[in-house]
Amino acid sequence: MTGSSDRPPIRLGLPKGRMQEEVVRLLADAGIRLAHGPREYRPRISLEDYEVKFLKPQNMVEMLQEGSRDIGFAGADWVAELDLELVELLDTGLNPIQLVAATTPEFLAKKANADKPFVVATEFTNLTRVWLADRKLEGRILRAYGATEVFPPEDADYIVDVTATGATLEANNLIITDELMTSSTRLYANPKLLDDAERRERIERFVLILRAVLEARKRVMVEVNVPADRLDELIAAMPCMREPTVSPLNAGQGFAVKAAVPRDVLARAIPEIKACGGTDIVVIEIAQIVP
């Protein structure tokens, strides 16, 4: 929704398609609500002075470049493909993918003994052209419009496409031979927008709350009680952001220690905390972390 002030709204683009669910969940975890029907492209947003539109990622980056969108979520692959000069505000790490070259085992074996031109099907024509030049390969590019993996072997020899797990490629008898780039969902801005100090500040606040959610997803809050004579030992073993919070327990029964612990070390940290005298260990999910 747009607030009652006269300042122009921030025009936010949200991705339509495979990125949509993760981005909408990120906004929801940041306390930003969207309301829209299944066929609507202009949802209402609970953030004051913002207006939103759903766009395909390919169109998103073009609209950002043209200035009809101020900020928007898109994959780094399409920014690279279209060679646009946008400002990356935040790498969410969501929807990680690789842009790869793949072919059939039969063509790969034949190619080892022959050096004739071949056909590459892809949506990423510019990045494919760079890949062919870098590898000194003779390939003719066939423009694809989705479902690129169906082209080999009858209609193309190679494909250049995105993959998350490689399962679709494997199901279609394709072998990855090269990785062109990695990509993820990122928040971009039109460079000219950031020259406006007031609008830049509003966008920085938006980025701050999203970053707080992403940081919180990496950690959990661990609370533990420890006897006074083992406090230093436990603190030394407890991973945290800076220093843990330490509070005395009732009647001098020791201390309560609390810290935001990286999620990926939790399986190792909990037994170590227990071995250092920790008791009554509680692990709590965190909604947001602002350093």
Q: Which domain holds residue 39?
A: 10-93+186-216
User: When comparing pLDDT for 107 and 4, which is higher?
Assistant: 107
Q: Are 62 and 84 in contact (CB under 8 A)?
A: yes
Confidence of residue 148 (pLDDT cuts 50, 70, 90): very high
Q: Is the pLDDT of residue 111 over 80?
A: no
CA distance 203 to 260: 27
Amino acid at the residue 208? L
> Domain containing 275 — which CATH number?
3.30.70.120
Q: How much of the chain, in percent, has pLDDT values that exceed 90?
A: 80
> Domain containing 15 — which CATH number?
3.40.190.10
The domain boundary residue, chosen from 163, 183, 203: 183
Please state the length of the chain.
Answer: 291
Q: Is the pLDDT of residue 113 over 60?
A: no
Does residue 2 lie within any of the structural domains? no
Q: Is the pLDDT of residue 235 over 60?
A: yes
Q: What is the pLDDT of residue 5?
A: 59
Q: Please tell me the number of Cα atoms within 13 Å of 265 on its side-chain side.
A: 14
- The count of domains in the chain is 3
Does residue 4 lie within any of the structural domains? no
The pTM is what?
0.87
Q: Is the pLDDT of residue 40 over 90?
A: no
The per-residue pLDDT for range 244-286, each reduced to its tens digit, is 999 999 988 899 999 999 999 999 999 999 999 999 999 999 9
Is the backbone peptide bond immediately before 153 cis, with ω within 30 degrees of 0?
A: yes
For 32, 52, 216, 231, the CA distances from 56, given in Å and listed in that order, are 21, 13, 28, 54
Return mean pLDDT, the chain: 92
Q: Are 96 and 160 in contact (CB under 8 A)?
A: no
- Together in a domain, 151 and 206: no
Confidence of residue 1 (pLDDT cuts 50, 70, 90): very low
Does residue 290 lie within any of the structural domains? no
Average pLDDT on 49-54 reads: 94
- Together in a domain, 19 and 81: yes
Q: Is the pLDDT of residue 86 over 70?
A: yes
